[in-house]
Amino acid sequence: MERSLTMELVRVTEAAALASARWMGRGKKEAADNAATEAMRKVFDTIPMQGTVVIGEGEMDEAPMLYIGEELGTGHGPEVDVAVDPLEGTNILAAGTWGAFAVIAIADRGNLLHAPDMYMDKIAVGPECAGKIDINAPVIENLKAVAKAKNKAIEDVVAIVLNRPRHDQIISEIREAGARIKLITDGDVAAALNTAFDFTGVDIMFGIGGAPEGVLAAVGLKCLGGELQGKLKPQNDEELRRCHEMGIADVDKVLTMDDLVKGDDCIFAATGITDGELLKGVQFKEGSIGTTQSLVMRAKSGTVRFIDGRHSLKTKPNLVMK
């Protein structure tokens, strides 16, 4: 992939963030998601690449979402797989709470797992703990491994978990081990990434979330040297059939980083919509100015950039809610 795509992708997530931020706290998650999607699609049309959505928000008949199989870009340039979530955390934005962002990941054609829209059990850590975790091991063993790798007492380890009834057992085991917990309402892509940045205070992520979000998080962690392991969790015969169509005969197979994102070249970009541990959210300033904070990373070069943007909205009427 051309390195110039790195900065081009930031333009896409910035546009989505600015468009959807107008809906913060208004309780209309579908309208916010539509605004983010429309803004993304318009900027994608200007990017010199031959992109195909392999992880999106639905099938072709579910437009206007960025659907699986949709072609993005100008039709010239590198051929890439695209994983996209125009608004990661629709409920977060609708409530005006913590940690919504717009996110994209790309890799060379054929290198991203075509994750079905089903649950995935996940465990994620940052670079210090890569190679030390095992999704099949007991919770306490993974906590001990993280504590040892980070030279911490287990009481000082912070695990981040989606606050769902399905995680009651995991939460109980973390508490019994003496580790601390950060419970979140939504947004496990951000949760996984937070494990790789010391300033967030998060050491490990546990729990079941969306499989597409697992691939997005894996791309980000590959750029950072971290690790995510996953196991698909089909809930019915139809989902099991989809796994088999993907070539996964054994649904208990542990999906490693190389299963989720192959090769050594991938790019991850995200822009904050509401404030989070990792990124500041969009703010609208006097004089029709919008400010953004974005994260963009490329695995091949190991480059990690935090980008503060200042945008004139006078020339972008499509970003103004009517």
Binding-site members for Mn(2+) are: 33, 57, 85, 88, 213
Q: Is the separation of the CB atoms in 102 and 40 below 8 Å?
A: yes
Q: Which parts are annotated binding residues? A: 33, 57, 85, 88-90, 119, 164-166, 186-188, 210, 213
For the chain, give the longest Cα–Cα distance: 57
Give the H or E element holding residue 51.
strand 50-55
Nearest to 202 by CA among 171, 177, 181, 225: 181
Please, which residues have CB within 8 angstroms of residue 263's CB and are 6 or more apart in sequence?
107, 108, 111
Q: Nearest-5° angle of CA 288, CA 291, CA 294?
A: 150
The per-residue DSSP string of 225-272 comes to T-EEEEEEE--SHHHHHHHHHTT---TTPPB-HHHHB-SS-EEEEEEE
Give the H or E element holding residue 221.
helix 211-224
Q: Which parts are annotated binding residues for substrate? A: 88-90, 119, 164-166, 186-188, 210
Length of the chain: 322
Nearest to 105 by CA among 280, 297, 239: 297
DSSP type of residue 281? P
Please count the CA atoms within 13 angstroms of the CA of 77 that sit on its side-chain side: 22
